């Protein structure tokens, strides 16, 4: 069983096999109330909370696209990440959105999630890659997963570039 390390100043993990393991930095968030997600920090531009009314609806788009939002003179598509991944969508009565501004090369999106749990440091070699038993809607976006503490279950490491290039968003 692996432990999520939430200390930002802790750089090494001691294990029985190796005295020191290099840690990578990830943004940890809830995809839906029962599911934990991770994004590599290099793809995260900014994390913020905005009023739901600041997302302007856009007609004739897939239901996972909540609308557009403006930040720092840029316009982002606001995406219900849970719905895109095939999980329980956000509560439609929510008044504040937790937003992850994500960017890969020239593509940028605002991923809307129920909660952002902070930054974690994890050894990259602890992620499992056998995704055959996971939901089919999640597989295209999944880089791996890690078993958390018993109360957290599994945390899914998402491929930011595949989320931003999703055929659902570009149809």
| Dihedral of the alpha carbons of 141, 127, 39, 9, in degrees to the nearest 10 | 180
- Helix, strand or coil, per DSSP, at residue 90: coil
The yes-or-no verdict on residue 2 having pLDDT over 80 is: no
124 DSSP assignment: G
pLDDT range class, residue 16, cuts 50, 70, 90: low
The yes-or-no verdict on residue 167 having pLDDT over 50 is: yes
Q: pLDDT for 45-82, tens place per residue?
A: 999 999 999 999 999 999 999 999 999 889 999 999 99
What average pLDDT does range 2-7 have in this prediction? 40
Which range in 13-22, 95-104, 118-127, 151-160 is most confidently predicted, on average pLDDT?
A: 95-104
The yes-or-no verdict on residue 34 having pLDDT over 70 is: yes
pLDDT recorded at residue 47: 96
Q: pLDDT for 85-139, tens place per residue?
A: 999 999 989 999 999 999 888 889 999 999 999 999 888 777 777 766 677 777 8
Which residues have C-beta within 8 Å of that of residue 76, sequence separation ≥ 6?
A: 68, 69, 70, 101, 108, 109, 110
14's tokens = 């001691």
pLDDT recorded at residue 17: 52
CB 112 within 8 A of CB 79: yes
CATH of domain 12-164: 2.40.50.180
pLDDT recorded at residue 72: 86
More confident site: 19 or 47:
47
| Dihedral of the alpha carbons of 2, 82, 95, 102, in degrees to the nearest 10 | 80
More confident site: 18 or 46:
46
| Dihedral of the alpha carbons of 100, 169, 82, 116, in degrees to the nearest 10 | 0
- Helix, strand or coil, per DSSP, at residue 164: helix
CB 156 within 8 A of CB 37: yes
Of 38, 40, 86, nearest to 62 (Cα)?
86
CA distances from 50 to 121, 150, 156, 158 (A): 26, 32, 25, 23
């Amino acid at each position: 069983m692996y432990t999520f390390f939430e200390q930002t100043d802790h750089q090494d993990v001691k294990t029985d096999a190796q005295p020191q393991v290099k840690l990578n930095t990830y943004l940890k968030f809830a995809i839906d109330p029962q599911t934990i997600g991770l994004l590599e920090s290099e793809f995260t531009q900014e994390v913020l909370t905005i009023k739901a009314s600041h997302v302007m609806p856009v007609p004739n788009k897939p239901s996972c696209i909540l609308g557009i939002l403006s930040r720092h003179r840029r316009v982002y598509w606001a995406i219900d990440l849970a719905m895109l991944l095939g999980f329980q969508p956000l509560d439609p009565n929510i008044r504040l959105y937790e937003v992850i501004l994500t960017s890969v090369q020239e593509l940028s999106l605002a991923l809307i999630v129920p909660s952002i749990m902070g930054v974690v440091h994890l050894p990259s070699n602890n992620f499992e890659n056998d995704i055959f038993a996971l939901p089919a809607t999640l597989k295209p976006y999944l880089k791996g997963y890690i078993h958390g503490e018993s109360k957290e279950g599994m945390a899914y490491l998402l491929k930011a570039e595949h989320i931003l290039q999703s055929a659902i968003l570009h149809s």
